[in-house]
Each structure stands twice: as C-alpha cells, then as structure tokens.
Chains A and B, each alone.
Chain A
Amino acid sequence: EVQLVESGGGLVQPGGSLRLSCAASGFTFPDYWMSWLRQAPGKGLEWVANINQDGSEKYYVDSVKGRFTISRDNAKNSLYLQMNSLRGEDTAVYYCAKKGGTVNYWGQGTLVTVSS
C-alpha cells in the first residue's frame, strides 16, 4: 500500500524558512517522479513543484521560483521542500504526491502558516 507522510509544517513568520519532508513507502520510490502541491485555506488546489527520479530535473510554479527548492534522497525514500522567504500567501496545506503521468496518489498534507 502506497503511503506518503508529510512532516515539518508549522507557524513561521513572514520572511522565514521551513523545510517540509515526505516519507514514502509501499512503492519503489527511486522509480517515480514526485510532486508537491498546496491548498490555501478554503481555496482550490495548486501545483508547486515536480522532481524527476534522480533529481536532475525540477520544475516550479512561477510564484515560488527562487524561493522554494524541491529535492529527494532516494536512499531514504524521502522527498523534501525547502521554503525560504515565506510570504502570507504561502499559507496552505502542502501535499506530497506520487506522479504517474499526473499525480496518482496524495499524502495527507501538512499545514504551513505564515504569520507574525
């Protein structure tokens, strides 16, 4: 059974940093692209970033380029999202997801709140 467990969310001040982690199990993690997506409170879904199997290809939504970095550690079956220069509009539940053609399995999410 596929399991994706996010951690690292919390309250952070504007301009601060946070690193999200996602522990994957139930599938061969190194074989798959992975994604981060988010959902602001009461709002719709937004794709944030994708990373390929060996970490050599990364794609980001424009609003996070230069501030967020997606990475992975295949030896640890883990996905990460380093978030710097956080803004109020980054407040959201962040979901780790496994990518087939598109996202085909979502984690349960971790809440990031950016506020002073």
Chain B
Amino acid sequence: DIQMTQSPPTLSASVGDRVTITCRASQSISIWLAWHQQKPGKAPKLLIYGASNLESGVPSRFSASGSGTEFTLTISSLQPDDFATYYCQHYSGYPWTFGQGTKVEIK
C-alpha cells in the first residue's frame, strides 16, 4: 500500500499568514493527489484534485502543487474560516490512502 505522510501534524498560525502543508507519498502517484478540508463535527470537503486543480467554489487563496512523491497545499492569506484539519489522499490505484492530517490552529 502507498503510505501518505503529512507535515507538520499541527500548525499554529494567525489570520493573514501564508501557510504551507506538505504531503509525501511512499512511491510515485503522478498527479493523483487530492486535498480535503474537515472542520470539527463536519464532513470533509474536497479542495484540490489532480494535485493542483481547485474544486469549484473553493477560494483562490488555496493553491497546490507537486507530482510524483512530493506535494504541497498553500493558503496564501489564512482566513478565520480556514482553521480546520487538512488531509491529503492519493487515488493512484487501490487502496486509496490518506495522510494523517494537519490541524491548522489559531496562534
């Protein structure tokens, strides 16, 4: 199985900060990488698919890049609504696996 490793596990930041989350795959997954956002007690929401494509309706302050084994999610200017847990997920064959999550907290 492909292992997905996110860093950092927790990130403390202030409104307006630029934040970056990293996701590494244990083997190449090309661009078959998605990012999901989850707020406490809520269902996850797709933000990014195909490593860098913004899902419809997602604010443009979110961006992502990468291919192969190294991927990043960047929030250009953190907003109050962005404090949540972010998960990367590969879909390059089965089983799909997720990173352990990065919790973005208020500093």
A and B from one assembly? yes
Footprint of B on A, CB under 8 Å?
44-47, 50, 59, 61-62, 95, 100-109
25 A-B pairs (CB sep. < 8 Å):
A44-B98, A44-B101, A45-B36, A45-B38, A45-B44, A45-B89, A45-B101, A46-B98, A47-B89, A47-B95, A47-B98, A50-B94, A61-B95, A62-B95, A95-B43, A101-B49, A101-B91, A102-B32, A102-B46, A102-B91, A103-B44, A104-B46, A104-B49, A106-B43, A109-B43
Determine the distance from Cα of A18 to Cα of B67 in the docked complex, in whole angstroms.
40
Chain B residue nearest in CB terms to A61: B95
Q: Per DSSP, are chain B's interface residues mostly helix, strand or loop, or mixed?
A: loop
Interface size on B, residues (CB 8 A): 23
Footprint of A on B, CB under 8 Å?
32, 34, 36, 38, 42-46, 49-50, 55, 87, 89, 91, 94-101
User: How far does the Cβ of B101 sit from chain A's closest Cβ, in whole Å?
Assistant: 5
Given the complex, which residues of B lie within 8 Å of A100, measured CB to CB? 49
Is B46's CB under 8 angstroms from A105's CB?
yes
User: How far does the Cβ of B19 sit from chain A's closest Cβ, in whole Å?
Assistant: 19
Q: Which 4 A-B residue pairs are closest in the complex by CB-CB distance? A: A47-B96, A106-B43, A102-B91, A45-B98
